[in-house]
Amino acid sequence: MTDKKQIAPASDGLLVRAPAKINLSLLIAGKRPDGFHEIETVMAKVNFYDEILIQPRQKADVELLCKGPYWAPAEKQNLIYRAAKLLLDSCGTLADIKITLTKNIPAGSGLGSASSDAAAALVGLNKFLNLGLSNTQLGKLAPQLGSDVAFFLDGPLAFCSGKGEKIKKIDENFNFLALLILPDVTVSTKKVYANYKHNSALYEKLSGQINSYIRKNRIDLVAKMCTNMLQISCFGLAKGLAELKAKIESLDVGPCCLSGSGSAMFCIIDSRDGQRAEQYKRKLEDKTGCKSVIVSNNRW
């Protein structure tokens, strides 16, 4: 899978790509007074995309259509629709637009696709409607849509904290290939967090090590730790995922890491070894029957 530009002309409109993300590390620092969990995570965009087509329409208001291999929420429940209405309302602008989402990234997989879709909608509509807003201005709308949306307006590699909305861009180039495993399982993020049991000693130990690696620009070592403090909670809710992870690792493809709150997992592979990635993909699909995609770090 190759990198593509985020925005490209298409028929009478714009095609906007919304990349997936993986969590190279994910720590839980504890529970906040507002009931949310404080997280520390290194997130990387990958070149696996939902596609959003923005076109003019004759009827008034915003229309959203969803298609593709995976389910997406209907119009007013979809973050794309909410992002479009929020942007237009904030600018005091009326627009007659049709948005078509091609859903290539499964929802409920820990790959951030809904947040990425919302960010892509903000970026695409800003350009399509010639609103002239900066990324900083768009970023002020992000918290109203979701904690990860701010990351997708920036990146492609960042240390994120708070609920995920505090973004510290990492300028270090970390080039990688990854085998992205897509189980046919949907995991509720809300339930994973509700099921989480905090281990403060483990957090302190892992946080010190990961922050040390980040200061030394050794993101490769962060990735090799394969750390996700939500894994136990996720696997407690979907026990088949623990069995799948063990089976994948028995195939000698390397450590298998959970992304976000699950259910997607990934194995980092040397960025120069595309042939080996293809071999692993065939082996994994043959032995597990699970769909997988070879991805690399996204450039934007």
* Euclidean distance between CA atoms 210 and 219, whole angstroms: 9
Note if 252 is an active site residue: no
CB 95 within 8 A of CB 88: yes
* Euclidean distance between CA atoms 224 and 175, whole angstroms: 13
Out of 45, 148, 154, 281, pick the active-site residue. Answer: 148
Three-state DSSP class for residue 225: helix
* Euclidean distance between CA atoms 112 and 158, whole angstroms: 14
Q: Which residues pair with 17 in a beta bridge?
A: 51
Q: Which residues contact 203 (CB under 8 A, 6 or more apart)?
A: 27, 28, 29, 30, 229
Note if 247 is an active site residue: no
CA count, 13 A, side-chain hemisphere, 48: 24
Q: Which helix (H) or strand (E) holds 99?
A: strand 97-102
Structure tokens at 236: 């407690």
Three-state DSSP class for residue 56: strand
Out of 21, 45, 103, 245, pick the active-site residue. Answer: 21
* Euclidean distance between CA atoms 50 and 252, whole angstroms: 30
Start-to-end CA span in the chain (Å):
15
Q: Where are the alpha helices (DSSP H) in 170-273?
A: 189-194, 200-215, 219-225, 231-237, 239-249
Catalytic residues: 21, 148
